[in-house]
């Protein structure tokens, strides 16, 4: 199984993942093709992408959330 732009959009909306254009290209480069001779399972693919998104967002915080001193108002 490989990742597609459509699946990434589903992860954005249904999985509530913050995936910007740069991260989308990274995901497609890493998981857009099967690693010969192996094959990704759906669960493995989702988990690897989840970890990548978490790490990327930790290293690239969203500016409006960092600068917002009162995020709950």
Q: What is the DSSP string of 2-70?
A: ---HHHHHHHHHTS-----HHHHHHHHHHHSS--TT----HHHHHHHHHHHHHHHHHHS--HHHHH-S-
Q: Classify residue 8: in a domain, yes or no.
A: yes
Average per-residue pLDDT for the chain: 85
The whole-number average pLDDT for the span 29-50 is 91
Digit-coded pLDDT (tens) for 49-69: 999 999 999 998 876 655 555
Q: What is the predicted pLDDT for the residue at 62?
A: 74
The whole-number average pLDDT for the span 34-52 is 91
The tally of domains found in the chain comes to 1
Q: Classify residue 44: in a domain, yes or no.
A: no
Q: Classify residue 55: in a domain, yes or no.
A: no
Domain that holds residue 6: 1-37
If we measure between CA atoms, which residue out of 64, 49, 61, 59 comes closest to residue 17?
49
Q: Classify residue 63: in a domain, yes or no.
A: no
Q: Classify residue 2: in a domain, yes or no.
A: yes
pTM of structure: 0.78
């Amino acid at each position: 199984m490989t990742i597609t732009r459509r699946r990434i959009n589903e992860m954005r909306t249904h999985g509530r993942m913050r995936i910007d254009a740069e991260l989308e290209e990274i995901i497609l480069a890493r998981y857009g093709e099967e690693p010969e001779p192996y094959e990704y399972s759906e669960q493995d693919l989702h988990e690897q992408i989840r970890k990548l998104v978490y790490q990327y967002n930790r290293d690239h915080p969203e500016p409006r959330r960092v600068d917002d001193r009162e995020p709950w108002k």
